[in-house]
A = this chain, B = another copy of it.
Amino acid sequence: MAIRYELIKECKQTGARLGRLHTPHGVIETPIFMPVGTQATVKAMTPEELKDMAAQIILSNTYHLYLRPGHELVKEAGGLHKFMNWDRPILTDSGGFQVFSLGDLRKISEEGVEFQSHLDGSRHFLSPERVMEIETALGADIIMAFDECAPYPADYDYVKKSMERTTRWAKRCKDSFENTENQALFGIVQGGMFRDLREQSAKELVELDFPGYSIGGLSVGESKDLMYEVLDYTTPLLPKNKPRYLMGVGSPDALIEGVIRGVDMFDCVLPTRIARNGTAMTSEGRIAIKNAKYTRDFTPLDPNCTCYTCKNYTRAYLRHLYKADEILSSRLMSTHNLYFLIHLMKQVREAIMEDRLMDFRNEFFAKYYGETLL
C-alpha cells in the first residue's frame, strides 16, 4: 500500500479528526490545506517558499499537464516531483472536473470523454484507463479516479446516471491501475445534493476498498449551507481508517466547517487567485489592497501574521506594487494567503488536539466575518 492513514484523535465536540497520512514522499499532518500547482508550479511560488511556510503536500492538474507539457515528457523528466523540484507529497486530480467544464467542447459516452483542448482545439479522448496511464506517468503520491462532476443544479435522473457511471469508471480505474505500491488511488463520491445518491455512491465505492475517498461535486454553485448538509450525511458513510478529501474548497469558513464534519484534506486555487487580484485573507477578514485607504498605511497586511510578507512589507508598499502591476505583488500576496490557510489549518489541528475546536471556530469567525456567520 502506498499510503497509510493514522487516526490520532477524534474531536469530542464535532466530527473532526486529527491524523497523519504516511505517503511515499513523507508524512502529512491532517486536516490539511493543499496549495494548487495547476501547471506543475504553484503560481508565483518556488518549492522552497512553500516549504518555508510549512506546505506539506501540493496538488497538480492532470488535464493541464496531459495537454502541456504532456505526461510522457514529465515521465521522461523523472516524474512530476523531479520535473518541478518538489520532493514532498503530490496529489493529482483526474482531469474530470476540467474536461466536464469544457461544455460544448466535450462529448461523454460510457467509454469515456472526447474533448477539444482549450489551448489549440486539438481532439483528445480520456477514459478511466487512459487517465490511470497519465496519472501513473506523472507519479503523484495520491491520484484520483476519473469521475464526472455533475453540474449544479441538475435533476435527479441526470445526477443518478452520472454518479453510477462515475462508480463504474472508478472500478475500471481500480482494475487498470497497477502502480499501487507507489501511488494511492482515491475513489470520488458523487451524487449531487441528493442524499440517497450520495449514500449509494459512498456504499459502492467503499465496497471497492480504495485507500482514500474524495467528496466531489460540491462547491459548484450551491449554498454553503447545502454543502454542509451534504457533508453532514456523507462523511459518516466513509471508513474511519481512510483519509477524506473535499475537492475545490478553500475559503476559511468552509475549511473549518469541513473539518468539523470529518474532512481531512482540502485544495483550492482561491488563495493564489485572489492574491494575484490584490485580495488578502487576514485575521480580520479580506482586504483589497488597491483600496485608497491603504495608500499611506505603513502597517503589515495582517498585524497578527508572521509570514514573510507581513514581517517585511507594509500595506502601502503592497498597494504600490499592485497598482504598478509588479510581479512581486503576486508573489508577496500569494505568500501571505497560502501561509494564512496553512497556518489556519495548523491552528485547527491544535484546537482538535486540545478539544476546543468549536471555541476556535467561533473566535475565528467573529474576527474574520464579524457576527454574520455566528
Residues on A close to B: CB < 8 A? 39-41, 43-46, 68-69, 73, 76-78, 83-85, 295-296, 298, 312-314, 316-317, 319-321, 323-324, 326-328, 330-331
Contacts and interface: CB of A to CB of B under 8 A. Distances in A.
Nearest to A320: B69
A341 to B, nearest CB: 19
Nearest to A314: B77
Contact of A85 (B41, B83, B312): B312
Nearest to A328: B41
A326 B326 CA distance: 14
Contact of A77 (B43, B77, B84, B317): B317
A85 B313 contact: yes
Given A69-B316, A85-B313, A76 B327 contact: no
Given A41-B326, A45-B328, A77-B314, 7 more contacts: A41-B324, A44-B327, A44-B328, A46-B328, A68-B320, A68-B324, A73-B320
Given A39-B326, A295-B69, A326-B39, A84 B317 contact: yes
Contacts of A323: 68-69
A40 B43 CA distance: 22
Contacts of A76: 296, 298
Nearest to A311: B85
Contacts of A45: 328
A316 B68 contact: no
Interface of A is mostly: loop
A83 B328 CA distance: 14
Nearest to A323: B68
A298 B77 contact: yes
Contacts of A324: 39, 41, 68
Given A320-B68, A323-B68, A296 B330 contact: no
B330 A40 contact: no
A83 B295 CA distance: 13
10 smallest CB-CB distances across A and B, nearest first, come from: A44-B327, A69-B320, A39-B324, A41-B328, A85-B312, A41-B326, A83-B317, A327-B330, A327-B327, A77-B298
A313 B78 CA distance: 12
Nearest to A325: B39
